Structure 1
Amino acid sequence: MGKSKALFAGLCAVALVGTMGLAGCTQDNGSQNSSQGANSEQQNTAEPTASEPAEEVVLQIFAANSLTKAMADAQALYTEQHPNVKFGDTQYEGSGTLNEMLEAGQYADILITASKGTMDTAEENGYVDAATRQTMFTNQLVIVTKAGGPLVGQDITLEQIAAGDYTLSVGDENVPAGNYAAQSLSTVGAYTEPDGATGADATGKGGEWSASLLPKITFGAKVGDVCKYAETGDVDIALVYTSDVYRMGGVEICSIVPDDTHKAIVYPGAVTAQSENAQAAADFLEWCMTDDDCAKIWQEWGFDIAA
């Protein structure tokens, strides 16, 4: 009996030790698994589950009136490619009027004018950030008449206009197209600058129209209005841009005004000094100049990208 008791006691001791060892292993493994689970949870918490959406931006643009159709198409394409960027109520006015609006404190992120001179004025007055300024587009000055009218197909010259052969419409002094028209007609004596400058050396502002021509001129506050006068037949002809023929319709080109009779027709653009979205505005201007699909829009509406 003594030997049996001793053997039984030994077996119990072995079993007890084994049980304790197993429990210890189980506890260690549980602690390790818990630690790994916590680390994994921390890692999952640190990593974003979805990308944050880009902040929405609304850009306000002041643009030359001749850009009406082309700019609207460009804005739609840009928003399609950049859904977080929207556009406010874009103002299309004569370039001089746009400067007056900025002077009066109206807000804009971007200014695009139809002449170097009007952008120079904006820069001199601190309306735009000069570092963002770039020449964007070019255009041509043309003589148009009512589509299907009696003057279609005639090659009308500046000399004929100066002689008073036709009634015509041109932009007023706040409209770059009107300045270009005055510059061109100064080369044939129909417009005289105070300092006697003519053609590309003239400003097309502050001068006098010849007594024989002035009664035959209807002035427009926007180049679109100028084109409309010819379309309706209120005047025989109008001096507008090639792009106006595309966007307005209802008129046909009689002749192209010689480039050497006026300053180069360019469209400078810049971010305004007051812009609260300067980087987004600069990105849009750059896109206008470099995107292939956008280039097709400008060409469709009669503009050329500046070299």
Structure 2
Amino acid sequence: MKLFKREIILFAMLTIVFAMTGCQTSTAPTDTSSNISGDITVSAAASLKDAMTEIQTLYKNEQPNTNLIVNFGASGALAQQIQQGAAVDVFVSASTKDMTTLKDAQLLDYTTLKNLLGNEVVLIVPKDSTTSINSFEQVIDPSITKLGLGEPTTVPAGQYAVDVFTFYNMMDQIKDKIVYGKDVKEVLTWVETGNVDAGVVYSTDAKASSAVKVVAMAPADSHKPIIYPAAVIKASKNQEAAKDFNDFLSSDAAKAVFVKYGFTTL
């Protein structure tokens, strides 16, 4: 009888050992590396450069097997490049107009299209400017001889600026003062260096520069709503990675970066 009890105890101990061994096997380290990999080319509005550069680093930390390449420029010009066959995986525009152009041309994956961000239009002057203007209407003042705007046919910020001055019925009065830039960052640089007396940019651009000051903010009803949409390009050779990055742009981590640089998340 005592022998029988010993056998039972031995059996129970062996069972516990085997169970523990099984648990250890099931919790052994596994390969947790991401399946997302390859190159992703993103075409993004120039006004997104600072925020997107930071987001690029965040995404690389999360998806180390990807190679994220970001091209910045005027949204209209970037849309034209995509229409002409440029190898782009994700497009982030500073206007719905240019995204709609690609949508109408059936170049987007419609299921990925989303409104991502909002912004505001401001009038800026160099930090050391002595001008006393404090509204868009006052750019007719003699102290403003050169006014920097983005080229409205390709630069959304330029189109928004035209909207504002048209709202005030001023385009004819200021047309001889206007100098058009290839993108909003060029206009910002002109104001920073004093090559123009004033310029119209996004509030996020002004916030990022210590060399300019904002003298006026455009009323919301003076221009079309400023919306930054994002979408995956249908011809992308790396759809899985493109969709993953497009989704990442709406993540809490990415939103925090956009808000940091002054954007409104939608």
- Specify which of 118, 122, 137 is matched with residue 159 of structure 1: 137
Q: CA deviation at 1:75?
A: 1.0
Bigger Cα displacement from structure 2, 234-243 vs 163-172: 163-172
Task: Give, in whole Å, the separation in 2 of the partners of 1:109 and 1:248.
Answer: 30
Q: State the one-letter code of the partner of 2:202.
A: Y
Counterpart secondary structure, 1:215: coil
Aligned to 1:224: 185
Aligned to 1:169: 148
| Residue 300, structure 1, aligned to residue 260, structure 2 | yes
Asked whether the equivalents of residues 119 and 204 of structure 2 are also in contact (C-alpha less than 8 Å), the reply is yes
Aligned to 1:239: 200
Aligned to 2:62: 81
Q: State the one-letter code of the partner of 1:168.
A: L
Q: CA deviation at 1:300?
A: 1.7
Runs of 4 or more consecutive aligned structure 1 residues displaced over 4 Å after TM superposition: 162-165
Asked whether the equivalents of residues 162 and 185 of structure 1 are also in contact (C-alpha less than 8 Å), the reply is no
Aligned to 2:10: none
Counterpart secondary structure, 2:158: helix
Task: Give, in whole Å, the separation in 1 of the partners of 2:191 and 2:115.
Answer: 30
Q: CA deviation at 1:248?
A: 4.2
What do the CA deviations read for 1:67-119 (whole angstroms, capped 9, x no partner)? 1111010010011122122202x110101100111122110000010001111
Counterpart secondary structure, 2:206: helix
Task: Give, in whole Å, the separation in 2 of the partners of 1:103 and 1:62.
Answer: 12
Q: State the one-letter code of the partner of 2:224.
A: K
Aligned to 2:248: 287
What do the CA deviations read for 1:174-194 (whole angstroms, capped 9, x no partner)? 100000000010012123xxx
- Specify which of 68, 78, 88 is matched with residue 98 of structure 1: 78
Task: Give, in whole Å, the separation in 1 of the partners of 2:187 and 2:143.
Answer: 18
Asked whether the equivalents of residues 135 and 215 of structure 2 are also in contact (C-alpha less than 8 Å), the reply is no
Asked whether the equivalents of residues 74 and 183 of structure 2 are also in contact (C-alpha less than 8 Å), the reply is yes
Map 1:266-281 → 2, pairs under 5 A? 266-281=227-242
Asked whether the equivalents of residues 230 and 236 of structure 1 are also in contact (C-alpha less than 8 Å), the reply is yes
Q: CA deviation at 1:164?
A: 6.3
What do the CA deviations read for 1:186-216 (whole angstroms, capped 9, x no partner)? 012123xxxxxxxxxxxxxxxxxx1x31221
Q: CA deviation at 1:63?
A: 0.3
Q: State the one-letter code of the partner of 2:95.
A: S
Counterpart secondary structure, 1:239: strand
RMSD: 2.1
Q: How many residues align?
A: 237
Map 1:1-307 → 2, pairs under 5 A? 51=31, 53=33, 54=35, 56-88=37-69, 90-151=70-131, 154=132, 156-162=134-140, 166=144, 167-172=146-151, 173-191=153-171, 210=172, 212-291=173-252, 293-306=253-266
Q: CA deviation at 1:282?
A: 1.7
Larger radius of gyration: 1
TM-score (norm 2): 0.83
Q: CA deviation at 1:290?
A: 2.3
Asked whether the equivalents of residues 109 and 233 of structure 2 are also in contact (C-alpha less than 8 Å), the reply is yes
Task: Give, in whole Å, the separation in 1 of the partners of 2:179 and 2:96.
Answer: 25
Aligned to 2:16: none
TM-score (norm 1): 0.72
Task: Give, in whole Å, the separation in 2 of the partners of 1:296 and 1:281.
Answer: 21
Asked whether the equivalents of residues 36 and 241 of structure 2 are also in contact (C-alpha less than 8 Å), the reply is no
When residues 52 and 299 of structure 1 are mapped into structure 2, their CA distance, relative to the original with a 3 A threshold, is: closer
Q: CA deviation at 1:155?
A: 5.3
Counterpart secondary structure, 2:165: helix
Task: Give, in whole Å, the separation in 2 of the partners of 1:286 and 1:220.
Answer: 32
